[in-house]
Amino acid sequence: MTPAPYAQTPPAANTTLLEVHDLSVHYGYGAGATKAVQNVSFRLAHGEFVGLVGESGSGKSTLGFALTGLSKPPAHIEKGRILFGGKDIASLDAEQLREQRHGGIAMVLQSGMNALNPVRSIRNHFVDIFRAHGHVDRSRWTARATELIGKVELTPQVLDRFPGELSGGMRQRVSIALALSLEPELMVFDEPTTALDVLVQHAVMNTIIELQKSENFTAILISHDLGIVLESAQRVMVMHEGRIVEDAPARQILENPQADYTRMLLSHYADPRAEVVELPGFADRQQRKAEGASRTEAATHTPTVSPRTLRADQHAMIVENVSKIYPAPRRGEAPVRAVDNVSFTLEPGAALALVGASGSGKSTIAKLITAVEKPTSGRIRFGDLDVGSLNRRHFRRLHRDVQMVFQDPYSALNPLHTVEYALTRPVINFTGLHGTDARRRVLELLDIVGLNPVEEFAAKLPHQLSGGQRQRVVIARALASDPQVIIADEPVSMLDVSLRAGVLALLEDLREQWGVSLLYITHDLLSARVVTDNIMVLNGGAVVETGNTADVLRNPQDDYTIRLLDAIPNPRKVVA
Amino acid sequence: MTSTTAAPRGAESRPPTRPGPTDAAHAPSPIATSLGYVARKLGLFALTLWAAVTVNFLLPRLMPGTPADAALAKLAQNGPVSEATKAAIEAQLGVPTGNIFEQYLAYLHQVVTLDFGISYTFYPQSVGELVSAALPYTLVLVGLVTVVAFVLGTLLGVLAAWKRGTWLDSVPTLVGSFMSAFPYFWTALLLLFFAGYVLRLFPTSGAYGPTAEPNLSFEFFGDALYHGVLPALTILITSLGGWILGMRNTMISTLGDDYVTFAEANGLKPRTIALRYAARNAILPNLTSFGLALGGVVGGSILVEQVFGYPGIGYLLFNAVTNQDYPLMQALFLMITVSVLIANFLVDILYGVLDPRTRR
């Protein structure tokens, strides 16, 4: 019944482990069904490491869930076969499916952070699995759990902790160890590192790659990030709109992509350390600068919309020796030094990148500049405003000039209000325009952010928009007050790769046309390279490196900057 | 152009943020955290108890007039009251002596020794006697039934959520919401009419038969049990539906949580997934409602006890209020407050046992 544990079956090369034949997975039935996966066929040999790449909605996770027999209504296998070790997964009953999970197919979920039962200790998670399959003798439970937890580079103490006491990276490692405890022949990793911080992501990915070699399982890595996949997988399947559009060895995908879609995805990757960095819609920054000088002479752009030149003068945002210390989270612990003596000046019309891993203090700086938080020491000046000690009554003056674009466009808009409503509120609040004037301004804003036809977009509700369109609405909302400074906190990290360039180009355009200065907060060094002139690298609340973006990235001095750069998945690095 | 100035820093950067066992290793021992948690909750309990007792002392004193004034006013309706009568009534009811602090200390002493004076209504019985006679009936009847309703409703809710879409789901859900839509007293009246009057299956009032003598014999327990069936059924019927629906709905949402999917992916037994993963987490929010319901046991039984003529706390409270029996009222209000506090304290401790996240 149960297949022999993988350790006893030497991976014979080219013997088929999994065969998917003409598989279609639908959500719902009949004409209204969403065809998430359509006529997918592929074959997996023992010991392969295959990447499954696609953007959101491509059906890659649906396929992953179908392979592991975890599809839940309304998703169902419409047709096709999934042959694993000669048996059709789709035709097994619940108990057979459950039994085959030992020594069969295991899955590590996307949100590994939430994949653990919050009220059960890690040890009990292991015990539950051992008990369910009876494959580990009771006397060896602790020994085996310790061994497994060691394989993912955690210490045995972790066994007695509860999930809430572990960091996101540790929790994802525990999930991997749990999946490993099934002694699976095939591991399906569904976006295993997406929710994690860059450096942690890199470390977890390395663990997965090493485990795949040492434990000899066959792996499918599902990811939206072609970079991560190309770095780890030998073979890549590219998925688009429910179909596999390309299935080829990693090197071939990289050097000679066949499908247009693959080419498009690849075009959005570049090494931020390269001499010339170009993305679709972005010529290299240095070259653009040179051209830009002649262009502005030739034609001073005459905007048809309310010109920001009405404002007499633009101010610099001056941050001087600012620190922010939060009280200790628990008694007996040291206070948290979120921002540690940081100084910088954001000149009018400049673009400055604030780069660092999570917890480096970059979002706290955004909160300080927008007066959401007050600095513990130091000064923040904007024109004649002392931002650090601003009282509530003067917030409006600051917020007219300093606006924020948030990371998550999916939760930044009230789902009950139309785009027009979302934009009309700040227009009325900040500019005093009413009625038809306000409406005209709203349509102008939509035009500026490139949502045409404007009338149509104004009437839409957030759920009718794509992620990229939503982020454009969020940017338009930030522009409503005609601000001098825009603080963009990871504005593209939640978006699909193909949508990122468009939003970045918009930010760039705003700066060039309207002179808005940009504080670009990110962990993504590539996007920092294309939209900013200067960069500040933060670690543990302090600035560790600063300078011209291209210079710093091409010639990093600080160890932390170097590690950040190394953590970037970059397909070309593998081949080079 | 942007000028940036790096803050002065040490030569080397911070240690890597790689996941390591560091934060787990420094966590305090589980036993110490549990003890600390219980101690914190106990402290909070003591503080709120003191506040409640003090408010119970202050409230009557903030009201204008004294109980003696009220009694005199009643008498005055039938003609003038002599000075002697006034003195007699004041002596009988007691007039506070000493300043407010001395009164407070005397009050605290009374509370601690459970001495709440003599009831007006049931003169010459003391309030203490009355309450201790009524309390067991309410605690056993309403308290036990509340616990049973919670346990039974939760189990049915778990079953309904786990077998979602089958008859095990639709029948309890439908019947439960139907029954809980009935008002308390309406269900009580229906039961009285059919089971008590028409079918004569159960007695229609009292906690025990007219000839029974309250003692610890089996006969008496049997008799009390027999008399308790209808009121118990009333409470069960009206409260069961809420527990079923509450548990079913929270469990359906936990069934969609990632840890349940992951448990399924790991091939755990369906029973383990349903009970230890989905239900175990789903029960947590319902515990709060359970605490509130437990707290309401002592005070919230007025209607049922009134309809069934059941000699519990609710019955006593009703009599105390209609007869302006101040000593009895004050003692009962204090008891209701304290029972709510105790119920909340118990639920807090239960939370600590069931949810490791609250122990920190």
Interface contact B268-A560, CB threshold 8 A = no
Burial B163-187 (b: 16+ CB within 10 A, else e): eeeeeebeebbeebeebbeeebeeb
In chain B, the N- to C-terminal Cα span, in Å, equals 49
Alpha helices in A164-278 (DSSP H): 168-180, 198-215, 226-232, 250-255, 260-267
Q: If you write DSSP's letter for every residue of A443-493 in order, what string do you get?
A: HHHHHHTT-SSHHHHHT--GGGS-HHHHHHHHHHHHHTT--SEEEEESTTT
Q: Which residue of B has its CA nearest to A159?
A: B24
Q: Which residue from A99, A106, A169 is facing B19, i.e. has the nearest CB? A: A169
Q: Tell whether A231 and A332 lie within a shared domain.
A: no
In single-letter form, the type of residue at position A445 comes to L
Confidence bin at B260 (pLDDT 50/70/90): very high
Interface contact B269-A542, CB threshold 8 A = no
Asked if A117 contacts B259 with a C-beta cutoff of 8 angstroms, the reply is yes
Among A463-467, B159-163, B187-191, the range scoring the smallest mean pLDDT is A463-467
Q: Which residue of B has its CA nearest to A105?
A: B265
Q: Domain B32-69+95-359 maps to which CATH number in 3.50.50.60, 3.30.1490.20, 3.40.50.1370, 1.10.3720.10?
A: 1.10.3720.10
Which of A229, A252, A267 is the last residue before a domain boundary?
A267
Chain B hits for A543, Cβ within 8 Å: 4-7, 9
Confidence bin at B19 (pLDDT 50/70/90): very low
Question: Residue B219 has which token pair?
Answer: 């006969």
Q: At residue B357, does pLDDT exceed 60?
A: yes
Across A127-131, A392-396, B290-294, which has the greatest mean pLDDT? A127-131
Q: At residue A404, does pLDDT exceed 80?
A: yes
Q: What is the pLDDT of residue B353?
A: 85
Q: What is the pLDDT of residue A2?
A: 41
Q: Which residue of B has its CA nearest to A98?
A: B267
- Sign of the CA dihedral with A230 first, then A498, A411, and B254 last: negative
Rounded to 10 deg, the angle between the B127-138 and B280-299 helix axes is 140
Name which residue leads in pLDDT, A285 or A421.
A421
Which residues touch A406 (CB under 8 Å, ≥6 apart)? A412, A474, A489, A491
Supply φ then ψ for residue A355, to 5 degrees.
Answer: -120, 140
Asked if B297 contacts A139 with a C-beta cutoff of 8 angstroms, the reply is no
Residue with tokens 């049922």: B304
Asked if A497 contacts A55 with a C-beta cutoff of 8 angstroms, the reply is yes
DSSP A340: E
> Does the bond joining B124 to the residue before it have cis omega, within 30 degrees of 0?
yes
Which of A232, A252, A267 is the last residue before a domain boundary?
A267
Looking at CA atoms only, how far is residue A182 from chain B in angstroms?
Answer: 7
Q: What is the CA radius of gyration of chain A?
A: 26
CA neighbor of A109 nearest in space, from B214, B257, B22: B257
| CA–CA distance, B195 with B202 (Å, rounded to integer) | 6
Chain A hits for B272, Cβ within 8 Å: 128, 131-132
- Is A297 a domain residue? no
| CA–CA distance, A466 with B9 (Å, rounded to integer) | 44
Q: What is the pLDDT of residue B68?
A: 75
- Is A369 a domain residue? yes
Alpha helices in chain B (DSSP H): 22-25, 30-62, 67-76, 83-93, 100-112, 127-138, 144-162, 167-180, 184-191, 218-255, 258-265, 270-272, 280-299, 302-307, 313-322, 326-354
Region B163-172: mean pLDDT is 88
Q: What is the pLDDT of residue A8?
A: 40
Looking at CA atoms only, how far is residue B23 from chain A in angstroms?
Answer: 7
Sheet with A377-382, strands from edge to edge, namely A385-386, A377-382, A317-326, A336-346, B4-5
The reply to whether A120 touches chain B by the CB within 8 Å rule is: yes
Q: Tell whether A471 and A360 lie within a shared domain.
A: yes
Interface contact A119-B6, CB threshold 8 A = no
* Chain A 122-181, residues with CB within 8 Å of chain B CB atoms: 128-129, 131-133, 153-155, 157-158, 160-162, 164-167, 169-170, 173, 175, 178-179, 181
- Cβ-in-10-Å burial (0-12, 13-18, 19+) of A177 comes to buried
Interface contact A132-B25, CB threshold 8 A = no
Q: Tell whether A242 and A333 lie within a shared domain.
A: no
- Cβ-in-10-Å burial (0-12, 13-18, 19+) of A550 comes to buried
In chain A, the N- to C-terminal Cα span, in Å, equals 46
Q: At residue A10, does pLDDT exceed 50?
A: no
Region A418-437: mean pLDDT is 88
Q: What is the pLDDT of residue B7?
A: 37
- Cβ-in-10-Å burial (0-12, 13-18, 19+) of A291 comes to exposed
Q: What is the pLDDT of residue B78?
A: 77
Q: What is the pLDDT of residue A312?
A: 53
Q: Would you call A386 helix, strand, or coil by DSSP?
A: strand
Q: Which residue from B21, B264, B276 is facing A120, i.e. has the nearest CB? A: B276
Residue with tokens 């789902």: A415
Residue with tokens 């820093």: B9
pLDDT digits (tens, 9 = 90+) for A162-201: 888 888 888 889 999 999 999 999 999 988 887 777 788 8
Q: Which residue from B4, B261, B280 is facing A536, i.e. has the nearest CB? A: B4
Region B183-193: mean pLDDT is 85
Question: Residue B295 has which token pair?
Answer: 């707290």
Region A280-293: mean pLDDT is 64
Q: At residue A419, does pLDDT exceed 50?
A: yes
Alpha helices in A114-197 (DSSP H): 122-133, 141-151, 168-180
Q: At residue A358, does pLDDT exceed 80?
A: no
Q: At residue A332, does pLDDT exceed 90?
A: no
Q: At residue B221, does pLDDT exceed 90?
A: no
| CA–CA distance, A371 with A226 (Å, rounded to integer) | 38
Total domain count, chain A: 2
Across A127-131, B7-11, B165-169, B328-332, which has the greatest mean pLDDT? A127-131
Q: Which residue from B1, B266, B356 is facing A119, i.e. has the nearest CB? A: B356
Name which residue leads in pLDDT, B243 or A14.
B243
* Chain A 309-348, residues with CB within 8 Å of chain B CB atoms: 321, 330, 340-347
Q: Tell whether A455 and A531 lie within a shared domain.
A: yes
Centroid of chain to Cα B28: 34
Q: What is the pLDDT of residue A288?
A: 64
Q: Tell whether A343 and A477 lie within a shared domain.
A: yes
CATH of the domain at A235: 3.40.50.300
Distances in whole angstroms, Cα of residue B128 to Cα of each of B116, B235, B249, B330:
6, 27, 44, 12
| CA–CA distance, B119 with B68 (Å, rounded to integer) | 14
In single-letter form, the type of residue at position B222 comes to G
Interface contact A165-B27, CB threshold 8 A = yes
Chain B hits for A199, Cβ within 8 Å: 16-18
Q: Which residue of B has its CA nearest to A112?
A: B258
CA neighbor of A38 nearest in space, from A77, A90, A82: A77
Q: Tell whether A330 and A259 lie within a shared domain.
A: no
Chain A hits for B4, Cβ within 8 Å: 343-345, 352, 534, 536, 543, 546-547
- Is A35 a domain residue? no
| CA–CA distance, A382 with B49 (Å, rounded to integer) | 52
- Is A25 a domain residue? no
Q: At residue A309, does pLDDT exceed 80?
A: no
Interface contact B2-A347, CB threshold 8 A = yes
Confidence bin at B12 (pLDDT 50/70/90): very low
Q: What is the pLDDT of residue A567?
A: 82
The reply to whether A352 touches chain B by the CB within 8 Å rule is: yes
Residues forming beta bridges with residue A19, ordered by sequence position: A43, A83
Q: What is the pLDDT of residue A27?
A: 87
Across A118-132, A269-283, A327-341, which has the greatest mean pLDDT? A118-132
Region A488-516: mean pLDDT is 82
Interface contact B1-A131, CB threshold 8 A = no
Asked if A494 contacts A408 with a C-beta cutoff of 8 angstroms, the reply is yes
Q: Which residue from B16, B18, B267 is facing A182, i.e. has the nearest CB? A: B267
Name which residue leads in pLDDT, A237 or B183.
A237
Q: What is the pLDDT of residue B311?
A: 85
Question: A253 lies in which domain range?
Answer: 49-67+93-267
Chain B hits for A534, Cβ within 8 Å: 1-2, 4
Distances in whole angstroms, Cα of residue B331 to Cα of each of A197, B142, B306:
59, 20, 20
Supply φ then ψ for residue B211, to 5 degrees.
Answer: -95, -10
pLDDT digits (tens, 9 = 90+) for A225-280: 888 888 888 899 999 988 999 998 988 888 888 888 888 888 888 777 777 777 77
* Chain A 532-551, residues with CB within 8 Å of chain B CB atoms: 533-534, 536, 539-540, 542-547
| CA–CA distance, B6 with A537 (Å, rounded to integer) | 9
Q: What is the pLDDT of residue A111?
A: 66
Q: If you write DSSP's letter for every residue of A265-334 in order, what string do you get?
A: HHHT---TTSSS--BTTB--HHHHHHHHHHHHHH-----SS--GGGSS----EEEEEEEEEEPPSSTTSP
Q: Which residue from A101, A342, A350 is facing B2, i.e. has the nearest CB? A: A350
Looking at CA atoms only, how far is residue A160 from chain B in angstroms?
Answer: 9
Q: Can you count the helices (H) and strands (E) in chain A?
A: 21, 20
Q: Which contiguous run of DSSP H or E holds residue A62?
A: helix A60-67
Confidence bin at B246 (pLDDT 50/70/90): very high
The reply to whether A291 touches chain B by the CB within 8 Å rule is: no
Confidence bin at A536 (pLDDT 50/70/90): very high
How would you classify the pairing of strands A105-108 and A186-190? parallel
Chain B hits for A547, Cβ within 8 Å: 4
Q: What is the pLDDT of residue B149?
A: 92
Confidence bin at A1 (pLDDT 50/70/90): very low
Please report, to the nearest 10 degrees, the dihedral formed by the alpha carbons of residues A105, A109, A112, A114 taken in order: -110
Region A447-458: mean pLDDT is 86
Rounded to 10 deg, the angle between the B326-354 and B313-322 helix axes is 140
Q: Tell whether A328 and A255 lie within a shared domain.
A: no
Across A109-123, A208-222, B296-310, which has the greatest mean pLDDT? A208-222
Confidence bin at B28 (pLDDT 50/70/90): low
Which of A249, A267, A285 is the last residue before a domain boundary?
A267
- Is A58 a domain residue? yes
Chain B hits for A115, Cβ within 8 Å: 258-259, 261-262
Asked if A396 contacts A389 with a C-beta cutoff of 8 angstroms, the reply is no
| CA–CA distance, B198 with B344 (Å, rounded to integer) | 41
Distances in whole angstroms, Cα of residue A328 to Cα of each of A134, A312, A338, A542:
45, 44, 11, 19
Chain A hits for B3, Cβ within 8 Å: 344-345, 347
* Chain A 57-96, residues with CB within 8 Å of chain B CB atoms: 68, 70, 94
Instruction: Give me chain A's average pLDDT, please.
Output: 83
- Is A408 a domain residue? yes
Q: What is the pLDDT of residue A78?
A: 87
Q: What is the pLDDT of residue A303?
A: 37
Q: At residue A576, does pLDDT exceed 70?
A: no
Q: If you write DSSP's letter for every residue of B227-246 in order, what string do you get?
A: HHHHHHHHHHHHHHHHHHHH
Confidence bin at B4 (pLDDT 50/70/90): very low
| CA–CA distance, A374 with B341 (Å, rounded to integer) | 39
Interface contact A346-B2, CB threshold 8 A = yes
The verdict on ipTM greater than 0.90 is no
Q: Which residue from A166, A350, A543 is facing B24, i.e. has the nearest CB? A: A166
Looking at CA atoms only, how far is residue B255 from chain A in angstroms?
Answer: 11
Name which residue leads in pLDDT, B272 or B123.
B272
Q: What is the pLDDT of residue A88?
A: 87
Interface contact A534-B21, CB threshold 8 A = no
- Is A492 a domain residue? yes
Q: What is the pLDDT of residue B47?
A: 94
Q: Tell whether A344 and A427 lie within a shared domain.
A: yes
Q: Which residue of A has its CA nearest to B1?
A: A347
Percent of chain A clearing pLDDT 70 (strictly above): 90
Interface contact B261-A546, CB threshold 8 A = no
- Cβ-in-10-Å burial (0-12, 13-18, 19+) of B194 comes to exposed
Q: What is the pLDDT of residue A305?
A: 38
Region A104-133: mean pLDDT is 88
Q: Which residue from A173, A340, A352 is facing B2, i.e. has the nearest CB? A: A352
CA neighbor of A21 nearest in space, from A244, A189, A245: A244
- Is A200 a domain residue? yes
Q: What is the pLDDT of residue B16?
A: 38
